[in-house]
Amino acid sequence: MTTPESLADRELVLTRLIDAPRAELFRAWTEPELMKQWFTPRPWTTPVIEVDVRPGGASLVVMRGPDGNEIPHRGVYLEVVKDRRLVFTDAYTTAWQPSGKPFMTAIVTFEDEGTQTRYTARVRHWTVADREAHETMGFHDGWGKATDQLEAMVAKL
């Protein structure tokens, strides 16, 4: 008999205190023109972002590498709490159609902490192997650099 994988074994987390109001960070996560400015770690870009920010709303994010190769990511929002929380997954695509291979569910939260916002990106994977693959792909470095870019962009809003 196999032991069930714990949630902690399938989760990656990035937390940062950012000197910006929750509302600005939420906007940066929900307005395509803002997302394009920070969403992928440079030299990658995000030329296409289409979001329907509501529970059940679909999203399409196309990331372009320095070699011109494009990687599309489709998903659906599961929960949207304005200025506080976004939950989305790649387990579904448009209109609640199951994806070919679910990989993750992301929970992004924005919490007041003094004059700053505690920004947390929690990514839950279906399996330990998926979490390990995401970590090997560079989760900490990539999401960290993207968060640096997010922080620099909201400072200018």
What domains does the chain contain, in order, with CATH numbers? Answer: 21-154 (3.30.530.20)
pLDDT over 60 at 1, yes or no: no
Contacts of 143 by beta carbon, 8 Å cutoff, 6+ apart: 14, 121
Average pLDDT over residues 68-96: 95
pLDDT in tens, 37-69: 999 999 999 999 999 999 999 999 999 999 999
Tokens 């929900």 found at: 30
CB neighbour class for 114 (10 Å; exposed up to 12, middle 13-18, buried from 19):
exposed
